[in-house]
Amino acid sequence: MGKLLLSSSAAASCLFLSINPAAAQESQNVEALQAEIAALKAQLAVLSDKVDANAKKAEDAKANEAKAQEKPAQSKEKVKWKGAPEFSNDDGWSFKPRGRILYDAATVSTPSGITDNGLGFSNEVRRARLGVQGTIPGGFEYKFEGDFANGGVELTDAFLAYAGKNVTINVGQHNNFQGLEELSSSNDTSFKERAAFTDAFGFKRKVGISAEYNNGPLLLQAGVFTDNVDDLAEDGNNSRSLDGRIVVAPKIGGNQLHLGASVHVRELGDTVTSVRYRQRPLVHSTDVRFINTGTINNATTESSYGLEAAVISGRFHAVAEGHWLKLNRTGLQDPSFDGQSIEAGVFLTNDKREYKGGVFKGVKVSNPVGKGGFGALQFNLRYDRLNLTDAGDAVFGGKQDSYQASLIWTPIDYVRFMINYAKMDYSDAAIAAAGGNRDYSVNVLGFRSQISF
């Protein structure tokens, strides 16, 4: 029996030993397979992360590209407000409507013995302009404007320009460089009307081609002109002129200086054989002219030159300007006329007169109404002289000496209110007063309200 048990135990041990290696091998295989699976899972996780990252990068790139494409579209069209909307884009196009309305009222005293309905109270819409201006790709600019104040339409500026770095070429109707005050906008003058000689000598825009060179303090302007577009309706009008102006405008310390001179030679042509020089008593709302040469016949050529000087120092400014004209006639003597003005002004508020490109610009109100401020307040004085008499050549148009004061309130950049007073002294006046007296004085009081954009 003991032998039998011993034999059975030995057999069982042999059987266990024969089975256990196979089980151990299988267990090792399972563990290896599990390890491979785990490694594959890890690799798949890494690949998945890479795919997700690449997908996110692709989405971000696509979004950035869309933003990049969308951004120019958003920034390409721009709108700025400068009294009116100015539309522009990155290609160089721009468009801005422009205009002004100037309403005037005035009273002119009546010398004894003179009866004229134009004296006393008068009023008018002095200017009612509407136009457009802008730029065109390639450095081109344009301006087109009409004045509707007189019941019709009078073309003012109508030109195309090329603006290079220092040179500008103008073609069309524009000012022919007559002088500082004439070239400064009527929106920005110190008085209701410019110096008397500007209207008396017929300063106005003309059709022509001109060039301007501007480099630092130096400005050169010159052009060839025909006549105002309204006067060119007569197809026989072959009037032509050469006009030039030079300006030196350095800044010394905080002061802006201006020195200028202009020269003008005009051949009147075949259809213009007579001229007339005359002027109103400061205000335009009356048609009375106390000085007037009457018609001067056999006229052929006008030659004139002007001198101008100005300074802006903080709130203070001063300007002096003069113009001298000679008229050539066929078979008759050649009369000469002249006019000068000098003015000084000061802002009573913390403002100053602006200047750019050889002309005065509008005040930039430092403390405007609507933003807790009063606006800009300016006081000006001017002496204005015009001589339309040349006794040596038997032309007696009269002389005018005017002493003027103005007070200007500019509540915001685009609105102004103005009051003017003038004492006008006349000698050898074209209109005789009581007893044939031609030496007398008149008093003028004028008001203006204006908006410009």
**How does residue 21 score in pLDDT terms, banded at 50, 70 and 90?**
low
The more confident residue out of 36 and 389 is 389
Q: What's residue 15's pLDDT?
A: 38
**How does residue 235 score in pLDDT terms, banded at 50, 70 and 90?**
confident
Q: What's residue 145's pLDDT?
A: 98
**How does residue 273 score in pLDDT terms, banded at 50, 70 and 90?**
very high
Mean pLDDT of 373-389: 99
Of 23-27, 28-32, 143-147, 199-203, the range with the lowest mean pLDDT is 23-27
Of the candidates 235, 228, 295, 243, the one whose C-alpha atom is nearest the C-alpha of residue 271 is 235
Mean pLDDT of 242-251: 99
Q: What's residue 47's pLDDT?
A: 66
Q: What's residue 10's pLDDT?
A: 45
pLDDT digits (tens, 9 = 90+) for 314-349: 999 999 999 999 999 999 999 999 999 999 999 999
Q: What's residue 30's pLDDT?
A: 65
Of 29-33, 250-254, 367-371, the range with the lowest mean pLDDT is 29-33
Q: What's residue 23's pLDDT?
A: 53
**Percentage of the chain surpassing pLDDT 90?**
81
Q: What's residue 174's pLDDT?
A: 98
**How does residue 379 score in pLDDT terms, banded at 50, 70 and 90?**
very high
The more confident residue out of 151 and 100 is 100
369 pLDDT above the threshold of 90: yes
Q: What's residue 22's pLDDT?
A: 52
14 pLDDT above the threshold of 50: no
**How does residue 24 score in pLDDT terms, banded at 50, 70 and 90?**
low
91-452 folds as: Porin (2.40.160)
List the structure tokens of 294.
């009457």
Q: What's residue 148's pLDDT?
A: 96
Q: What's residue 232's pLDDT?
A: 93
Q: What's residue 9's pLDDT?
A: 46
Strand partners, 309: 259, 320
Domain ranges (residues) in the chain: 91-452
**How does residue 65 score in pLDDT terms, banded at 50, 70 and 90?**
confident
Mean pLDDT of 176-181: 98
Q: What's residue 42's pLDDT?
A: 74
Of the candidates 159, 205, 208, 142, the one whose C-alpha atom is nearest the C-alpha of residue 178 is 205
Q: To which residue do tokens 């022919």 refer?
A: 176
pLDDT digits (tens, 9 = 90+) for 142-171: 999 999 998 889 999 999 999 999 999 999
257 pLDDT above the threshold of 80: yes
Q: What's residue 62's pLDDT?
A: 75
448 pLDDT above the threshold of 50: yes
34 pLDDT above the threshold of 80: no
33 pLDDT above the threshold of 80: no
Q: What's residue 26's pLDDT?
A: 62
425 pLDDT above the threshold of 70: yes
Q: What's residue 266's pLDDT?
A: 98
**How does residue 16 score in pLDDT terms, banded at 50, 70 and 90?**
very low
**Percentage of the chain surpassing pLDDT 70?**
89
Mean pLDDT of 44-73: 67
**How does residue 77 score in pLDDT terms, banded at 50, 70 and 90?**
confident
Average pLDDT, the chain: 91
